[in-house]
Amino acid sequence: MRIKRENQRTGIGLVGKIKVGEKHKEKGYPTSLDYFRVDSDNKEYERLFKEAYGEKPTSIQIIFLSDDINHVCSEFLELRDNSGKVYARGDAKNFEVVVGEAYQKFTEEQLIKKSGSVEQAMENMAKKCNSSTGWRTRLVLRFLIPKIKGLIGEWQFSTHADASSIPQIVSVFDSILQLAGTVRMIPFDLNVKKVKSDKAGSKRNYTVVQLIPNISTENALLLKDYVEQGMISLRTGLLTDEKLKTLALPESSLQLEEAEEVEAEEVTNDNIEPL
């Protein structure tokens, strides 16, 4: 797990989720896609996304509004029960476990005292919730999509693809943060494609999502529009106080309902706030 940094919340709500998976309309089993689809409680937000990118985009331009990796590029461990509900999550030292309708926090010291080691505690949790998948790494990205006109709000993308998408995304994000000292206001492309497995005899195709820095003139002009309209502070990369006062966007919330699971490049985009 990467080192946590001081929390720098953006102060705006989550308006939708970007996914690369869906359930088969007739048979109900999960399937991966080679394009991004949007999911939002507000159909107008979906319309605006499709107006900007069409029905099946393979690349979208994004910007992060904070350098806080816990908010905009969070990597953590997650445990779900057989119904798909989140049972526990953590950073391999500190964990939150579902107790009733809320999460109870456990520190590394508490887990060692109770189970002898963190590893044993994690194994016990997996057995207790009867998880068929066990502990898995999850990555959650939160970002703004400048090309979507007339809408200020964060979008979310998440994945369990720890053998393909997650290492590349984390590596690029952390490299730019280290080199530039910030990721705020830097345009990135989020790309998706289908890749054939290189394992001998395998016919499996799987989806890979990549994060690519893109300082193009077009993207720079999109950001310039936000700055000139007083929506984003050029100094901080955050929404201005004046603009925040005019927004009425939904706040993100923790949902413990059944998640939409996609086995091939899983996209469990239930709206949870990472540790």
Report which of residues 120 and 225 the model is more confident about. Answer: 120
pLDDT tens-place string over residues 19-36 = 998 876 766 667 888 999
The average confidence (pLDDT) of the chain is 77
Confidence at 163, pLDDT banded by 50, 70, 90: confident
Render pLDDT for 62-91 as a digit per residue (tens, 0 to 9).
999 888 998 899 999 999 988 888 899 998
Instruction: Classify residue 226: in a domain, yes or no.
Output: yes
**What pLDDT band is residue 250 in, cutting at 50, 70 and 90?**
very low
Q: Is residue 189 part of a domain?
A: yes
Predicted model pTM: 0.75
Q: Sorting pLDDT into bands at 50, 70 and 90, what band is 236?
A: very low
Q: Is 230 left (phi over 0), alpha (psi -120 to 50) or beta?
A: left
Confidence class of residue 149 from pLDDT cuts 50, 70 and 90? confident
**Residue 232 domain flag:** yes
For 148-157, what is the mean pLDDT? 86
Position 189 pLDDT exceeds 90: yes
The model's pLDDT over 87-103, given as tens digits with 9 standing for 90+, comes to 999 988 889 998 777 78
Tokens of 104: 């109870």
Q: Is position 86 within any domain?
A: no
In a domain, 126, yes or no: no
Residue ranges of alpha helices (H) inside 41-149 are 43-53, 69-72, 108-115, 118-128
Q: Is 265 left (phi over 0), alpha (psi -120 to 50) or beta?
A: left
- Tally the domains of the chain: 1
Classify residue 258: in a domain, yes or no: no
Domain that holds residue 22: 14-76+141-246
Identify whether 108 is part of a domain.
no
Of 234 and 130, the one with more pLDDT: 130
Asked if residue 95 belongs to a domain, the reply is no
What is the identity of the amino acid at 20? Answer: V
At 181, is the secondary structure helix, strand, or coil? coil
Q: What SS3 class is residue 154?
A: strand
